[in-house]
Amino acid sequence: MEKLLIFLVIAIVAIAVVQIVRVYELASKVKGGGVEETVTKGENALNANLFILFMIAFFGSIIWMMFVYGDGGLGEAASVHGQEIDSLLTLNWWIILPVFFITNTLLFVFVRMYLYNPNRRSLYFAHSNKLEMIWTVFPSMALAVIIIFGLKTWNSVMNPEEKGTIIEIYAQQFGWTARYAGEDNKLGRADYKLITNDNPLGVISKEGIEGSYAYLEKKIEGLESKLAENKVGDEYLLPDAKIKEMTDKLESLKRQKYRIKGGIDKGIEPGVFEMANNDILTKELHLIKGETYTFQFRSKDIIHSAWFPHFRAQMNCVPGMITNFTFTPNKTTLEVRADEFTKEHYKKINEFHNERMRNIGEPEEEVEFDFVLMCNKICGASHYNMQMKVIVETEEEFKAWIESQKQIDGGTPKYWGSQTVAEAK
Amino acid sequence: MSANHEHAHHHHEKESFLSKYIFTMDHKMIGKQYLVTAIIMGIIGIGLSGLFRLKLGWPDTKFPILEAILGSDWAPDGVLDSNMYLGLVTMHGTIMVFFVLTGGLSGTFSNLLIPLQIGARDMASGLLNMISFWLFFLSSIIMTFSLFIETGPAMAGWTIYPPLSALEEAQSGSGLGMTLWLFSMAIFIASSLLGGINYIVTVLNLRTKGMKMTRLPLTIWAFFVTAIIGLLSFPVLLSAAVLLIMDRMGGTSFYLSDITLSSGALDQTGGSPILYEHLFWFLGHPEVYIVLLPALGISSEVVATNARKPIFGYRAMIGSILAIGFLSFIVWGHHMFVTGMNPFLGGVFTFTTLLIAIPSAVKVFNYLTTLWKGNIILTPAMVFSVGMVSTFITGGITGIILADSALDISQHDTYFVVGHFHIVMGMSAILAMFAGIYHWFPKMYGKMMNKKLGYIHFWITIVCGYGVFLPMHFLGEGGMPRRYYENTAFPMFDHFLDLNTIISVFAIVGVLGQVVFFFNFFWSAFRGPRASKNPWKSTTLEWTTPIDHVHGNWDGPIPEVHRWPYDYSKPGQEEDYVMQDVPLGENEEEH
């Protein structure tokens, strides 16, 4: 169907061009070369009318889209600061939309009003200090309002009065891991050199360090024996480039081992292992409604961006750097699901979703609302599918969930309760 | 000046094909060379966008055309590969921003118009000018060539943030494709710097008698400030690129730190990817104005000519060009609000960024006042310029939202951004570029372009342009991130499925609609009717030159300038325009 449509469009355009050229060639034969230089009264009027028509369609389509898509589908912000951002956005729209409609209208209407008339001269009006002043001062005033309210919101969002419960969001190609600090509300330290399959975040713990030694030694041994196997006398059987690659890798592994020994292992202060032991790694992010969280973002490989659209929260995850964002969710997942707007909206989404499912021959399903964390900085092939489910729930529900998880040291977490959190702060 | 005089005496010599069309030092021919190269790059650039819009508009449909064009590795069974999707997006952005809107726009019109409008025989250095074009051409070839290699072109987005762009293991396009991208850009920057120096020197030194700085057409002011901005900011991008090349090839770690890939921990450590972002956007933001200022300059000229009315607030227009030029250097941080930068710094960048809205607003109001009580002739160039003013307003308005750091948290890197910058920078600049082509085509080729095709081209372009980019604001408000290969991984975006299809239909019709222009351009260049000397009854000096190009521009002496360039409909004059080389009458005030 689409192919046919595209083909039709091409064909129509081609035919139109050929026809127009033919007409044009005939016309220019009759009228002589000057025809392209003078815009006829008819052409002038036609284009001016088209501008007015265009303006109506332009404004009409914007207003139509505002009705159909204006709510965006995200609904009301589900965090305390998010509601501040939303009202700031509304204020901004109220300032700039009138400007948009008025200036665009003036533009198109002037074009229609002051069309060329050979019996008339335009007004020789080159400058006016008064007017220039007006349109420097008025935008400045409007911008002052925007800047003042904008900076007020920005400062209150980015410099929260108190830090909350700490959770680490760890990004890598192409997934997210959450790390809860556990009972002590202290995240264990981490180092990228300690990352192994058993210690995916490189947390500094006794097992983590031992594990990475074991991992590195195994790799070193493997490479050394492979090199030895290939050595006959002083010559290698493999091509030089391959050997160079292997020896480089070997040296790099050894270097890493010594860097762990001299850098991390040597400088372990008392209490560092304990901080890590009760950390909890999860593949879903569970939050308690009304609790303030300070998220700490890290990345394993390249820049990612943690984007929580429903909470109006976003922060880049940069390798070599720790970034932060603090917010307080104020609606549980179930509350949002029960909301009238969401019900209505998800009815629409399900219609679209299942129409698509039918088209691609997959079973229909019921899509439910969920908070989500997605990657918002280009990060490679599966960037478009780098997501983690976020669940906001009550304290009891959270307690049940967190106690079903596992600590890094293998123990079962015990919910720390809001009291403990307050003390730890 | 002596070189210029020599030109005047030698211009009757017969030139060979090679020296006239290929290794020419004549600024008019170089301008045309830039234009034709940019048009070809433009075909590639917008063609790529048509390909990835197929995937975004119809996520579940197989398109054999994709397999036919991209081959079975990148589009097996007509389904676009997700790596190649990023490759297409990256190359589309790179080609359009640098090769069409920077090289194409500045290169064409600065070269063509600076000597003609200031009354000079040629550029200050014809040789540098020639080298500048051939470097541009070479970089275009390398960039285009990178589309055809096995591991694919650069895929890290046109901003090529490291570490993604630095590590081949992170993405296949970060291999040879990225190397070619970087080398192509380095050559491009060299070309741009040579061109820029030339433009600045020419404007400062080679103005004809009477051509005071305050009598320069606004086009020249715009090209002049653009060249200065380019000269100050492009070297920073060059250094960013060189450091990235060293990180990739020399084992340094300017941008790399604490990285673990599947092959293990990276040896390089201690750098910062954020450093790259600072360096990149220190060019990247001025780049927006490198693209926009020439567009605004061209529009000023076209609007004044065709409204038969002096541009309103000439000095205020110059002032706002200078203000925009200056401010453009202290706003780059607004691209980085969510990188974890100090919130205080974010506040400063919000403030400076929003300040740019003031000179921009002045420009818009001045355009509107120029149209007010004018005597408007809607030539093809004029309709494009009116369209340009509209897109400048529409896109500028949404910029106010993105400049606001608090709001940027929830708009950053969503489709809202894509819609915003495509309207304010992409469409405005492209529309102005078309306006310039339709307006100065008679000067370039001595022929007229077809008017009716011009109108058709305009209406297709503006309707489709807005049709593509307006809805994107709503996608962005719905939280949809840009650069997603498909949005169906998140059912929460499913209600946008049909909106995305609509966008794609507009995009594809818009892309195909450009055929009207290509046809009109090349056909008119060869077979168009002959133009008269001053077809638009304009006041500036380029319309005093002979229709057939002569090396050295004027057969006789260079005309002397007696008045500013906007004496349209001056009371007490017989015609509704007075050319710049006409002496002031008795008791006539300048303006």
For residue B533, count other CB atoms closer than 10 A to its CB. 12
Exposure of B172 by Cβ count < 10 A (0-12 exposed, 13-18 middle, 19+ buried)? buried
For residue A399, count other CB atoms closer than 10 A to its CB. 17
Looking at per-residue confidence, does A248 or B12 come out higher? Answer: A248
Show the tokens assigned to B381: 């160039």
Q: Cβ distance A352 to B495 under 8 Å?
A: yes
Show the tokens assigned to B447: 């022929």
pLDDT of amino acid B24:
86
Q: Residue A278: what are its φ and ψ, rounded to 5°?
A: -95, 15
Query: Cα torsion at B310, B311, B316, B318 (round to 10°)?
Result: -110
Sort strands A293-299 and A323-327 into parallel, antiparallel or unpaired: antiparallel
**In the predicted model, what is the mean pLDDT of residues B112-136?**
95
**Contacting residues of A for B260, CB less than 8 Å apart:** 192-193, 195, 202, 300-301
Quick check: A13 and B512 CB within 8 A?
Answer: yes
Digit-coded pLDDT (tens) for B155-195: 999 999 999 999 999 999 999 999 999 999 999 999 999 99
Show the tokens assigned to A392: 């906001």
**In the predicted model, what is the mean pLDDT of residues B355-372?**
95
Please tell me which residue of chain A has the smallest CA distance to B489. A385
Q: Based on C-alpha coordinates, what's the Rg of chain B? A: 24
**Contacting residues of A for B74, CB less than 8 Å apart:** none
Q: Residue A119: what are its φ and ψ, rounded to 5°?
A: -90, 5
DSSP state of A166: E
CA-based angle B524:B528:B532, to the nearest 5?
Answer: 120
DSSP state of B545: S
Beta bridge partners of A390: A285, A371
Exposure of B77 by Cβ count < 10 A (0-12 exposed, 13-18 middle, 19+ buried)? exposed
For residue A265, count other CB atoms closer than 10 A to its CB. 15
| Lowest-confidence region among A262-271, A387-396, B306-315 | A262-271
**Contacting residues of B for A146, CB less than 8 Å apart:** 354, 400, 404
Q: How far is CA B51 from CA A8, B81, B145, B433, in A?
A: 17, 12, 18, 24
**Contacting residues of A for B496, CB less than 8 Å apart:** 69, 73
CA distance A65 to A104: 18
Q: Which residue in B412, B417, B443, B492 has the most chain A C-beta atoms within 10 A of its own C-beta, making it the best mutation to test that interface?
A: B492
Please tell me which residue of chain B has the smallest CA distance to A314. B409
Distance of CA B324 to the CA centre of its chain: 16
Exposure of B128 by Cβ count < 10 A (0-12 exposed, 13-18 middle, 19+ buried)? middle
CATH of A282-424, one of 2.10.25.10, 3.30.70.20, 2.60.20.30, 2.60.40.420: 2.60.40.420
**In the predicted model, what is the mean pLDDT of residues A4-33?**
70
Band of residue A24 on the pLDDT scale cut at 50, 70, 90: low
Q: What are the residues whose beta carbons fall under 8 Å from the beta carbon of B203, sequence distance 6 or more?
A: B114, B118, B216, B220, B223, B224, B227
Q: Cβ distance A365 to A354 under 8 Å?
A: yes
Q: Is B571 a member of any domain?
A: no
Quick check: B86 and A383 CB within 8 A?
Answer: yes
Residue A322 has pLDDT above 80, yes or no: yes
**In the predicted model, what is the mean pLDDT of residues A312-317?**
96
User: Looking up tokens 């006409």, which residue turns up?
Assistant: B582
Q: Which residue in B168, B305, B369 has the most chain A C-beta atoms within 10 A of its own C-beta, making it the best mutation to test that interface?
A: B369
How close are the terminal C-alpha atoms of chain A, in Å?
A: 62
Quick check: B309 and A21 CB within 8 A?
Answer: no
Residue A111 has pLDDT above 90, yes or no: yes
Residue type, B440: W
Supply the CATH number for residue B152's domain: 1.20.210.10
Quick check: A85 and B361 CB within 8 A?
Answer: no
Beta bridge partners of A371: A390
Please tell me which residue of chain A has the smallest CA distance to B63. A3
Q: ipTM, 2 decimals?
A: 0.93
DSSP state of B577: B
Distance from the Cα of B440 to chain A's closest Cα (Å) equals 12
Q: Could you say which of B171, B394, B493 has the minimum Cβ distance to residue A380?
A: B171
> What's the number of CA atoms in the CB half-sphere (13 Å) around residue A58?
22
What is the span of the domain harbouring residue B114? 2-12+20-257+269-544
Q: Residue A416: what are its φ and ψ, rounded to 5°?
A: -85, -20
Sign of CA dihedral A137, A139, A143, A145: positive
User: Looking up tokens 């304010």, which residue turns up?
Assistant: B424
Beta bridge partners of A178: A169, A282
Q: Residue B319: what are its φ and ψ, rounded to 5°?
A: -60, -40
Q: Could you say which of A6, A88, A192 has the minimum Cβ distance to residue B260?
A: A192
Distance from the Cα of B298 to chain A's closest Cα (Å) equals 18
Digit-coded pLDDT (tens) for A83-100: 999 999 999 999 999 999
Among B511, B506, B457, residue whose Cα is nearest residue A17: B457
DSSP output for A363-415: --------EEEEE-S--STTGGG-EEEEEEE-HHHHHHHHTTS-BTTSPPP--
Residue A237 has pLDDT above 90, yes or no: no
Exposure of A334 by Cβ count < 10 A (0-12 exposed, 13-18 middle, 19+ buried)? middle
Sign of CA dihedral B88, B91, B97, B102: negative
pLDDT of amino acid B589:
82
CA distance A398 to A401: 5
Q: Could you say which of A123, A305, A377 has the minimum Cβ distance to residue B309?
A: A123
**Contacting residues of B for A121, CB less than 8 Å apart:** 308, 375, 569, 571, 576
Residue B2 has pLDDT above 70, yes or no: no
Number of folded domains that form chain B:
1
Quick check: A384 and B82 CB within 8 A?
Answer: yes
Looking at per-residue confidence, does B46 or A21 come out higher? Answer: B46
Q: Cβ distance B479 to A69 under 8 Å?
A: no
Sign of CA dihedral B323, B328, B333, B334: positive
Q: Could you state, in order of their start, the residue ranges of all structural domains in chain A?
A: 40-158, 188-276, 282-424
Record the pTM: 0.93
The runs of H, that is alpha helices, within B206-339 are 218-249, 273-307, 314-327
Residue type, A230: N
Digit-coded pLDDT (tens) for B498-514: 999 999 999 999 999 99
| Lowest-confidence region among A108-122, A219-233, B230-244 | A219-233
CA-based angle B561:B567:B571, to the nearest 5?
Answer: 130
Q: Cβ distance B133 to B24 under 8 Å?
A: no
Q: Is B466 a member of any domain?
A: yes
Show the tokens assigned to B542: 């380029």
Band of residue B11 on the pLDDT scale cut at 50, 70, 90: very low
Distance of CA A275 to the CA centre of its chain: 31
Q: Determine which helix (DSSP H) or strand (DSSP E) holds B185, and give its type and residue range.
A: helix B176-205
Edge-to-edge strand ranges of the sheet holding A280-282: A280-282, A175-180, A165-172, A293-299, A323-327
**Contacting residues of B for A58, CB less than 8 Å apart:** 466
Quick check: A314 and B338 CB within 8 A?
Answer: yes
The per-residue pLDDT of chain B, averaged, comes to 93
Q: Is B240 a member of any domain?
A: yes
Q: Is B382 a member of any domain?
A: yes
Distance from the Cα of B425 to chain A's closest Cα (Å) equals 17
**In the predicted model, what is the mean pLDDT of residues A22-42?**
69
Quick check: B410 and A380 CB within 8 A?
Answer: no
Q: Cβ distance B339 to A316 under 8 Å?
A: yes
| Lowest-confidence region among A69-78, A369-378, B185-194 | A69-78
> What's the number of CA atoms in the CB half-sphere (13 Å) around residue B566?
29
Digit-coded pLDDT (tens) for B16-74: 777 777 888 899 999 999 999 999 999 999 999 999 999 999 999 999 999 999 988 99
**In the predicted model, what is the mean pLDDT of residues B99-127?**
94
Query: What percent of chain B has pLDDT above 90?
Result: 89
Digit-coded pLDDT (tens) for B434-445: 999 999 999 999
